[in-house]
Amino acid sequence: MSSRRIFARPARFAAIAPYVWMVLFFLVPFAFVLKISLSQTAIAQPPYEPVFDLTAGWDALKAAFAALSVDNFKLLVSDDIYVFAYVRSLTVALTATSLLLLIGYPIAYGMARLPQRWQAVAMVLVIVPFWTSFLIRIYAWINILQHDGLLNQVLLALHLVSQPVVWLSTDTAMYIGIVYSYLPFMILPLYATLAKMEPALEEAAADLGAPPWQVFWLVTFPLSLPGVGAGVLLCFIPIVGEFVIPDLLAGSNALMIGQTLWLEFFTNKDWPVASAAAIVLLVVLLVPLLLYERLQKRQLERGR
Amino acid sequence: MAEELPGAKVAAEPAGGDASPAAGQPLLRIEGVAKTFGTFRAVDGVSLDIKAGEFFALLGPSGCGKTTLLRMLAGFEAPDEGRILLGGKDIAQALPHERPINMMFQNYALFPHLSVRDNIAFGLKRARMPRADIATRVAEMVALVKLEGLEKRKPDQLSGGQRQRVALARALARRPQLLLLDEPLAALDKKLRENTQAELMELQRRLGMTFIIVTHDQEEAMTMADRIGVMKSGKLAQVASPRELYEAPRSRWIAEFVGDINLFDGESKLRDGHRLVIGTPDAGALVVAEPREAVGTGKLAVAIRPEKVKLSRRGPVNEAGRETAINTLDGVIADICYLGGTTTYKVKLDTGGMLQASVANSARLDVDAYSLNQHVVAWFTPDDCVVLQS
């Protein structure tokens, strides 16, 4: 009976599908991680205690609950290593996202103003790097940036430098890698908003006496803000937790939180601290997300 | 390139009027303007003079080049050939923001992120008008288009008619020398459209501004404009007053495009003073007044507007008139279309053709109505006919 109703009303099923997904693949794993973050590290299998054993009876379960503590979170706040890692992650993400916006906006704008058939071509060109594995592309950058790599060869050949520049294991290399990898995520949402913008709006602004730069700042840019917001979030959030690019291209003196997580988890085998770090990261990343949502809601309300 | 632009002056002091042309000179002169997109010649050598204070309509089917011509006046397209003189200065290559011309866009193109007030003030701020003056002008414009109380609304909080008013107020706020209107009423429903037409005409007369409206709706053009330019395939087919356009169309195409018309192909048979007899296979010999412009002796067409055709149960009583002039055609009613104010009858002529007659329903009771298959006589005078080159 109930299953027949679900099939009779596919819309209702579609409406609950995202919630089922969220519970199964986000909330349940999150509960596991939260529990581990409140545990203590132990030389055992699994490497933490207490362990909830549902077969051990009610008293054992109560004792396990009592053994949970927030010590790991206190450690995160008190130890400079973690605070620095968070600050560095946010700084890197902020800088990289700003660079991405500066580079991505003109590209997206140019794409949106191309003749229709060229827009499709440009779109493919933006997406085509995804055809190659992400890791291989980062290794290619190592090749380009290394001591006798392509970049130094070109610079030397053009007599722009007299001896090879150290690129690899610097922040510059890391930013090159991040901007290169995330550019499509910035361009695509920007392009989507700019392409559907009515061209008559820019013409109306020009008609009313606005020179081209004013047309851009007073009309085009404000109207593309939803795309800017989406692009910024799509880049900023994963960059904060980025692990591979800083690990392969940046130096090892300043770690991002993703690298710290990796160290705690795999090198130190300290699952509880790693879990606590992950939870804090999640909370930090919720802030821009909630801000964006509030902004969008306000825009929707204004639209009514 | 353009020399000194009138726009620069007007942008600083948008009160207008300072660049008015010398007496007798048209405000706007379009000289041999052409525009080609790829291989398509959208506008093909158009020349036109528009006087200050005139309400001019560009009328034509879609794709005839009327919008392209308007966009060249606004500066969104640069003509490939020709000159556009505004107050004697060539503005053909000037950028849109440098022209003392404003445009009301087809879908209004209101800035969705700005309030009604900021939409109207947009052009004034660009002209660096002092704040206090902007406030005064905006209030004036809001009152002009009757939008009081809605100043803080965003465009998507307005009805279609209100949006249309904001667009008009925004375009008028800078007091342009020339206002361009691109299908300004196309998005409104019929009743609102008719009211707005009357308001636009009233406004134009009161402000003494020059309006150029682009429309594909011939009724709209006829109602509002002082003069109409009919465009076809990038060329101006005829420029005339609404009455002249309707009563004396220059070509068969215009006659059919503007209003309903009966057309009978035929050949000139004989000339009798100021009368011409044209033999048509569908309606027999028709006596018509000699056209002002001489027509050849080859293939001609006789055109009669449906409302010029009279119907009666028997022929007209004036026997003398009938002998000398009046065209009478016998037939039966084949179709009746009741339209409220008028009824359109389709008459199947005994000679084979079809004739449309539009009869005013001057009485409430259907005493003078005809019924289907009823035998009638259709008649019209030679002066009601237009002779066109076929």
Q: Least CA distance to B180: which residue of chain A?
A: A207
Residues 119-138 of A with CB under 8 A from B: none
Using alpha carbons, list the distances in angstroms from residue A272 to A47, A275, B107, B358. Answer: 9, 5, 60, 91
* Residue B42: φ, ψ to 5°: -70, -45
For an interface test with A, the pick among B37, B97, B116, B166 (most A C-beta atoms closer than 10 Å) comes out as B97
Query: So what's the pLDDT on residue A9?
Result: 66
Exposure letters A48-63 (e unless 16+ CB within 10 A, then b)? bebeeeeeeeeeeeee
Q: Specify the residue for token string 């969104």.
A: B76
DSSP letter string, B269-300: EEEETTEEEEEETTTEEEEEEPPSS---SSEE
In sequence order, the 6+-apart residues with CB closer than 8 A to the CB of B131 are none
Using alpha carbons, list the distances in angstroms from residue B227 to B179, B237, B306. Answer: 15, 13, 23
Q: Helices marked H in B173-294 — which ranges?
A: 190-207, 218-224, 242-247, 252-257
pLDDT at residue B17 tops 50? no
Query: So what's the pLDDT on residue B273?
Result: 74
pLDDT in tens, A144-180: 999 999 999 999 999 999 999 999 999 999 999 999 9
Name the β-bridge partners of B259: none
Domain boundaries, chain A: 78-302
Separation of alpha carbons B171 and B105, rounded Å: 9
For an interface test with A, the pick among B105, B168, B181 (most A C-beta atoms closer than 10 Å) comes out as B105
On chain B, the residues whose CB falls within 8 A of the CB of A207 are 74-76, 96-97, 101-103
Separation of alpha carbons B301 and B279, rounded Å: 10
User: Which of A210, A211, A223 is nearest residue B112 as measured by Cβ atoms?
Assistant: A223
3-state secondary structure B9-63: HHHHCCCCCCCCCCCCCCCEEEEEEEEEECCEEEEEEEEEEECCCCEEEEECCCC
Query: So what's the pLDDT on residue B19?
Result: 46
Look at B111 and A219 and tell me if their CB atoms are within 8 Å. Answer: yes
Measured over the CA atoms of residue A137, residue A138, residue A141 and residue A142, the dihedral's sign is negative
pLDDT at residue A87 tops 50? yes
Separation of alpha carbons A258 and A239, rounded Å: 9
The tokens describing A239, both together, are 């960059």
pLDDT in tens, A175-222: 999 999 999 999 999 999 999 999 999 999 999 999 999 999 999 999
- The verdict on A222 touching B (C-beta cutoff 8 Å) is yes
pLDDT in tens, A112-137: 999 989 999 999 999 998 899 999 99
Q: What percent of chain B has pLDDT over 70?
A: 90
Look at B109 and A200 and tell me if their CB atoms are within 8 Å. Answer: yes
- What is the pLDDT averaged over residues B185-205? 89
Least confident of A36-40, A284-288, B46-50, B290-294: B290-294
Q: Specify the residue for token string 């050939």.
A: B81
| 3-state secondary structure (DSSP) of residue B258 | coil
Residue type, A101: L
pLDDT band (50, 70, 90) for residue B187:
confident
CA distance A227 to chain B (A): 15
pLDDT at residue B269 tops 70? yes
pLDDT at residue B317 tops 70? no
Query: So what's the pLDDT on residue A4?
Result: 53
ipTM: 0.82
Are A39 and A50 within 8 A, CB to CB?
Answer: yes
Query: So what's the pLDDT on residue B213?
Result: 96
Query: So what's the pLDDT on residue A300?
Result: 66
Question: Does domain A78-302 sit in CATH 1.10.3720.10?
Answer: yes
Q: What is the pTM of this model?
A: 0.81
Short-list B235, B260, B214, CA closest to B48: B235
| 3-state secondary structure (DSSP) of residue B121 | helix
CA distance A208 to chain B (A): 5
Least confident of A31-45, B120-134, B282-296: B282-296
Nearest 10 degrees: Cα torsion B363, B365, B371, B376? -40
Q: How many CB atoms lie within 10 A of CB B242?
A: 20
Exposure letters A210-237 (e unless 16+ CB within 10 A, then b)? beeebbbebbbeebbebbbbbbbbbbbb
Using a CB cutoff of 8 Å and minimum separation of 24, what contacts does A11-15 make? Answer: none
Q: Helices marked H in A23-149 — which ranges?
A: 28-37, 58-67, 71-78, 80-112, 116-127, 134-145
Name the β-bridge partners of B2: none
Least confident of A58-72, A88-102, A268-282: A58-72
Do β-strands B275-280 and B262-272 pair in parallel, antiparallel, or remain unpaired? antiparallel
Q: Return left, alpha or beta for A4; rule: phi > 0 is left, psi -120 to 50 is alpha, else beta.
A: alpha
Least confident of A62-66, A243-247, B217-221: A62-66
Helices (H) and strands (E) in chain A, counts: 17, 2
Are B343 and B361 within 8 A, CB to CB?
Answer: yes
Query: So what's the pLDDT on residue B337?
Result: 93
Residues 141-200 of A with CB under 8 A from B: 198, 200
- The verdict on A228 touching B (C-beta cutoff 8 Å) is no
pLDDT at residue B322 tops 80? no
Helices (H) and strands (E) in chain B, counts: 10, 20
Q: Mean pLDDT across chain B, nearest whole number? A: 87
In sequence order, the 6+-apart residues with CB closer than 8 A to the CB of B60 are B66, B216, B230, B231, B232
pLDDT band (50, 70, 90) for residue B84:
very high
Are B187 and B160 within 8 A, CB to CB?
Answer: yes
Q: How many CA atoms lie within 13 A of B171 on its CB side?
A: 32
pLDDT in tens, B227-260: 999 999 999 999 999 999 999 999 999 999 999 9
